[in-house]
Amino acid sequence: MRRSRALGFWFALGLAIVSSREASGQQPVFAANAASTLDSATQAALTRELGQARAKGLPVEPLVAKVREGLLKRARADRIQGAVAVLAVRLDSARAALGNASNSAELVAGADALAAGADGPALRAVRAASGARDVAAPLGALAQLVATGVPARRATQMIVDLMRRDVPPSQVLAFGIAVETDVSAGVPATESATFRMRQIEAAIGSGDKVTTSSPAVGGGVTLGTQDGRGGRSGTPKRRP
């Protein structure tokens, strides 16, 4: 079973935090064994890439995290360099859509959503619906929905609707995780997303709190509403 994009998203952010604490001056700290893994030309190219990102005002921590991810996976040097270059472009595109005041986590989530298949207008729509609220979690959920197979336009509308209904960002992210879990269990992506949205709408309409329960089939998070007996309304059924 493939690893959850949510776990990968927060893992990447964790690496970014570590790298930001270790980096000093203009010299990025990739990893203790980087010198024995990356040739001097690749190291120089990566340093230039990070320097260019810094000059543009982009966060360099996610780029350092991408290098470390590649090293952990023992990827080829050229693939690491290429992945960093692509991420830099996506971070720049995310900032153009989300605004110059966006924080690093928002830009990383926006870049992830772009990588999954969302576009700039989708990111702008989520930003507009969120107002002054942080959009890292909603964009993370958007990335999950699109990556699991929900059409980008439909996924964007769902996230925008949730933000307009003031559903907490953490629960919006849980919505994305729940859909991903359903898809891993064999439920079609759009069917799962529609089912989960109806659960949320029912909870909001009845004044109940939208809650999360743990792990559904195959592990993950299930989003649902409390029924009259204190149970949950269930999960979409897997197709035979």
Instruction: Provide mean pLDDT across the span 42-61.
Output: 93
Whether 226 is covered by a domain: the verdict is no
Cα–chain center distance at 191: 21
The whole-chain average pLDDT of the chain stands at 80
Whether 143 is covered by a domain: the verdict is no
For the cut 50, the answer to whether the pLDDT of residue 177 exceeds it is yes
Integer Cα distance of 81 and 86 in angstroms: 9
Whether 88 is covered by a domain: the verdict is yes
Whether 233 is covered by a domain: the verdict is no
Strand, coil or helix: 183: helix
For the cut 50, the answer to whether the pLDDT of residue 18 exceeds it is no
Confidence (pLDDT) at 9: 44
Confidence tier at 191 by pLDDT (50, 70, 90) = very high
Confidence (pLDDT) at 21: 43
Integer Cα distance of 74 and 60 in angstroms: 21
Whether 68 is covered by a domain: the verdict is yes
Integer Cα distance of 232 and 223 in angstroms: 9
Whether 147 is covered by a domain: the verdict is no
Integer Cα distance of 51 and 13 in angstroms: 20
Whether 96 is covered by a domain: the verdict is yes
Q: What range does the domain containing 47 cover?
A: 5-121
From first CA to last CA, the distance across the chain in angstroms is 18
Instruction: Provide mean pLDDT across the span 137-148.
Output: 97
Integer Cα distance of 59 and 190 in angstroms: 34
Give the number of residues written for the chain. Answer: 240
Instruction: Please state the domain count of the chain.
Output: 1
Confidence tier at 23 by pLDDT (50, 70, 90) = very low
In contact, 1 and 184? CB cutoff 8 Å: yes
Residue with tokens 């859509």: 97
